[in-house]
Amino acid sequence: MRMTKVELFAAIRRDARVEGLSQRALAAKYGVHRRMVAEALASAWPRPRKKMPPRQSRLDPFKPAIDQMLWADLSASRKQRHTVRRIFQRLVAEQESALPDRRLGDR
């Protein structure tokens, strides 16, 4: 069974204190890097994970045009509605200069 990071830190600190194991021996025993052992010996609590900033979607500049197409499709019959491929083809045709160089391949 895999232990949590807090449990791992507690076990590393206990073994260093009780058994007097070196950082290298602790790293080998628990299968972690020596930096992790040094971090565990320095603090009982692991550092919180870094929050990644949200990435901007490549579709963001085109969302108003796509929304407009889809809203217009609500009144159309089922066979007349846009597919993803057709939306892409319309974006290429109507907004060629705004599209990035690397596009989806034709399927």
List, for residues 67-93, the tens digit of each pLDDT value. Answer: 998 898 888 888 888 888 888 888 888
The domain tally of the chain equals 2
Residue 51 lies in a domain: no
107 lies in some domain: no
More confident residue, 84 or 41: 41
Q: Are residues 38 and 67 in the same domain?
A: no
Q: Model confidence at 17, in pLDDT bands (50, 70, 90)?
A: very high
Q: For residue 80, is it within any domain?
A: yes
Is the entire prediction scored with pTM above 0.75?
no
CA–CA distance, 88 with 86 (Å, rounded to integer): 5
Q: DSSP states of 1-64 as a string?
A: -PPPHHHHHHHHHHHHHHT---HHHHHHHHT--HHHHHHHHH-SSPPPPPPPPPPPPTTGGGHH
**Domain region containing 78:** 60-98
Mean pLDDT of 19-40: 95
Asked, for residue 74, whether it belongs to a domain, the answer is: yes
Residues 34 and 64 in one domain: no
